[in-house]
């Protein structure tokens, strides 16, 4: 699937993903900066992914984990700094939540700084229900 959005192309073709760009961005993020590169590559390989491209260069990314029946989890969403403010993040989330593939499922995600983006798509803060177990990376 490919969707043209302004001057960008959003695609679920994993062969187009520039794993070096994804690894570089995530290594500087607050949520994945301690994740080993091999884990990021394995996560890409085992998830539904959307890449955003301007001409041939990757400028955005989102990853979805799902059991394909009851829930989906949106993670590793980013847009490179030079392409922010153009609605790319909104379009990525819209494509995921409006997808027939995830219709009727509970959507989950974690964020410290993009609540407004996700609330526009029906996500609500639920700090009392979910628990997490931090990873213990075996490097």
CATH code of the domain in which 11 resides: 3.40.630.30
- Where do the H-state alpha helices sit in 14-114? 19-27, 37-45, 88-97
Please indicate, yes or no, if residue 7 is contained in any of the structural domains.
yes
What is the tens place of the pLDDT at every residue in 36-49?
Answer: 999 999 999 999 99
- What total of structural domains would you count in the chain? 1
pLDDT digits 0-9 by tens, 57-97: 999 999 999 999 999 999 999 999 999 999 999 999 899 99
- Partners of residue 51 on adjacent β-strands: 11, 61
On whether residue 127 sits in a domain, the answer given is: no
**Where would I find the beta strands (DSSP E) of the chain?**
2-5, 8-11, 48-54, 57-66, 71-79, 106-109
In contact, 18 and 40? CB cutoff 8 Å? no
User: How much is the pTM?
Assistant: 0.87
Instruction: Name which of 34, 32, 104 is nearest 67 in CA terms.
Output: 104
Range of the domain at 103: 2-119
Cα-only R_g, the chain: 15
> What pLDDT is recorded for position 23?
97
């Amino acid at each position: 699937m490919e969707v043209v959005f302004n001057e960008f192309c959003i695609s679920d073709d994993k062969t187009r993903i520039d794993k070096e760009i994804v690894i570089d961005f995530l290594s500087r993020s607050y949520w994945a900066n301690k994740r080993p590169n091999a884990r990021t590559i394995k996560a890409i390989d085992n998830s539904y992914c959307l890449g955003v491209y301007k001409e041939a260069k990757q400028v955005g990314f989102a990853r979805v984990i799902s059991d394909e029946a009851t829930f989906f989890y949106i993670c590793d969403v980013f847009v490179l700094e030079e392409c922010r403010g153009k609605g790319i993040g909104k379009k990525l989330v819209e494509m995921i939540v409006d997808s027939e593939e995830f219709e009727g499922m509970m959507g989950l995600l974690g964020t410290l700084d993009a609540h407004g983006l996700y609330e526009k798509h029906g996500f609500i803060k639920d700090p009392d229900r979910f628990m997490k177990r931090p990873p213990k990376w075996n490097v």
